[in-house]
Every structure is written in structure tokens, then in C-alpha cells.
Amino acid sequence: MRTPARHGPAASTIAWRAASLLVVATLLISAIVGGLLRAGVATPVPSASAWPAQAVLAHAFLMMSAFMGTVIGVERAVAVKHRAAFIGPMLSALAGLAMLGAQPALAAWLAVAAALGFVIVNLVVVKRQPAAHTALLLVGALALLVANLLLALGSAAASVIPGWFSFLVLTIAAERLEMTRLMRRRRGAASALYICLAALLLGAAAFALSPAMGALVFGVALLGLAIWLMVFDIARRTIAASGLSRYMAACLLLGYAWLAIAGAAWMATGLGLPLRDVALHALGLGFIFSMMLGHAPVILPALARIKVEFGVHFYLPLAVLHLSLALRLFAAPFLPAALRLGALGNALAIALFAMTMVGAALTWRARHTNPA
């Protein structure tokens, strides 16, 4: 009598998803290879091709604008459930491929078009649910648009990077703010967050005039945000739960610690201390990638229609990420090899995480395949 709860997707849909996954993986792997080469890790790459050099040059663009821009774009497109919403992430993925194909101008303008699409999707979200967190998501999208536009107009990547980070940090802050709705409202909590985020945008904008002043303000804002998250986020509650919830909370809390370190490091670079690697990677890997590791097990089923079975082994890539990052960022000033070793560990953590996800998806299938 009853129609099945879920129909299997059409072959064309599966092919489409597989192709998308392949492109996103290409962007991530290229960005990682670029990062490894930057850190001085001997990485086997084809010498005749342009892409390794492009991956090195455009590491930040590939990681933030192309890879994360695409993944977050798909995430939002899935939420608004409209076909046209996927145009943005398609363009940002193409922008990444164009960059790897040594077409930086084309890549930058494709990224602008992608960000424009992403802004429109976020406007739809705000219209559907006018709330503080959806408004912040929109501001994050605008930060991405401005950053990509600056790149297309010829700004150096160094002055664009704070804009890309602002997009990611605002996106995360917005989602965390949404979660704090489950806690009792503390007086001034929301205002404190808005002050931190306004300072973040102010700092990012100030880079164009004075990189030192920009870094200082950006750092103060990140530190403020880290404290805010440690005080108000639900992770301090959900760490007491079990299974996947506790794992996610661990990813969040570790991320907040790195966010505080990143804030201090950005401030230090503003004061002239040589801590740029700490500033960039405590934020990018310690905070943002830790968030990704935490959320992939719930986002993956939503984006790719693949369910995963949680297990304690999920903690392994998380531990490798944070330990290798600590090695890289704390030991490198005293031990030059620590940078290479740490960077290799960072890459290994992401590879281990990908394998964990594949394994967890296969386990889920094996457990839930009903022979009847």
C-alpha cells in the first residue's frame, strides 16, 4: 500500500553527484598539494603540468574561495532547495579549475560571479527566515563577494585573505549563533558577538590601508570571538553527551582554542612579529578545518545523500590534525623541520578523515541494507 520512504536516485543524478565530488576533491587535493609544496615538503607532482605551480601560487584562493566556497555554496543550495541555487557553487568550482589551468583572471571573475550567486541565495534565506543568524550568513556572503572582487581587480592575495577568512568565520559564527538559541539568552551576548564581527570586518577592510593595523584589529576580533564561543556556545553542554554529539563538541572546543591562538598570532603579526604561518593556519586548519571535521558527518548525508556510521575512530584524524598543527606552529621556530613534518601531518589528517568517512559510509550501508 505504502510507497517506499525513499526512491533510489536516477542514474543521471548519481553521475552528476560523482562528477561534483570529483571536482571538489580535485580542488581540495590541489590546495593541499600547494600547501605542502609551500611548506617545503617534497611532493610528487607532474613536472610538465602547470597545476602544481598554480596550486602553490593560489593555495589560499583554492582552499577558501574555490573549495570551501563550493562546499558551503552547495550546503546553502541544498537548504533553499532550488535548482538555480547550484549555479553559484558550480561557478566557484569552475573558478578553481580555471585557476589550476593557469587562467587567473578568468578564475577571479568566475569567483566573483559565483559569490554574486551565493549572495542571492543568502538573500532568499533571509527573506524566508529574517533572523540574526541568516543576516550574518548574508554578511559572510558579501565578504566573499568583496574579497573575490578585490582579487579580480588586481589586489594581492595577502590583502584579500582577510576577506576570505571573514566569509568563513562569519558563516561559522552565524551557525553557532543559531545554536545558542537553545540556551537561555544572556543579556548582551548577541551584542558582544556583533561587536566582534564588526571589528573583524573593520580589520579585514583596514588591510587595504595599513596591513599592520588591519592585522591587529582582525586579531583582536578573532580573540574576542573565541572567548564569546567558549562562553556562549552549546558545545560546552553537548560535550557531556555521547557518540557523534560529543565528537562534534570536541571538534568545536578544540577549534575555539585554536581560534584564540590565531587571534593572538594575527595581533602579533600586526606588531611585526614573524608569526604569519601561525596566524593563517591556526585559523584555517585549527579552527575552520576542525569545524569541517566536526560537521562533515552530518553535512555529508545532506549533500551527497550518503549516511555515515559514527565510531570512536573518528577521533583519530581529529587528533592527528591538532597534534600535527601544534607541532607545526609551536615547534617550527626552534626546529625548522617541524614545519614540513607538521604540514605533512596536516595533510595526512585530512586524508585519514576522508578515509574515515568512506569507511563510515560503507559501515552504515552494511548495517542498514535490508536483504528483504
Partner 1 sequence: MADVHIPYPYDGPPELEATIEGALRQVVDPEIALTIVDVGLVYGVRVVERDVQVRMTMTSAACPVTDVILADVQAELDAVLPPDHSIQVELVWDPPWTTDRMSPRAKQFMGW
**Residues in the site for partner 1, rule: CB under 8 A?**
1-3, 5-6, 75-76, 78-79, 81, 125, 128-129, 131, 133-134, 137, 174-175, 178-179, 181-184, 234, 237-238, 241-246, 248, 297-299, 301-303
In terms of CB distance, is 157 or 234 closer to partner 1?
234
Cα–Cα distances (Å) from 59 to 74, 93, 99, 158, 161, in that order, read 21, 14, 10, 11, 11
Q: By C-beta, is 43 or 122 nearer to partner 1?
A: 122
CB of 142 to partner 1, least distance (A): 15
238 within 8 A of 246, measured Cβ to Cβ: yes
* Smallest distance from partner 1 to CB 238, Å: 5
The span from the CA of 124 to the CA of 33, in Å, is: 36
Residue 296 corresponds to which amino acid? Answer: A
Q: Cβ 2 to partner 1, closest distance in Å?
A: 5
Q: How far is the CB of 333 from partner 1 (least distance, A)?
A: 37
Contact 248, 296 (CB under 8 A): no
Cβ closer to partner 1: 29 or 126? Answer: 126
| Least distance to partner 1, CB of residue 359, Å | 18
Q: Measure Cα distances from 102 to 48, 57, 61, 108, 243 in Å.
A: 13, 10, 13, 11, 44
Question: Which of 125/357 has CB closer to partner 1?
Answer: 125
Q: Which is nearer to partner 1, 191 or 242 (CB)?
A: 242
Q: With contact defined as beta carbons under 8 Å apart, do 126 and 151 qualify? A: no
Q: What is the 3-state secondary structure (H, E, C) of 63-79?
A: HHHHHHHHHHHHHHHHH
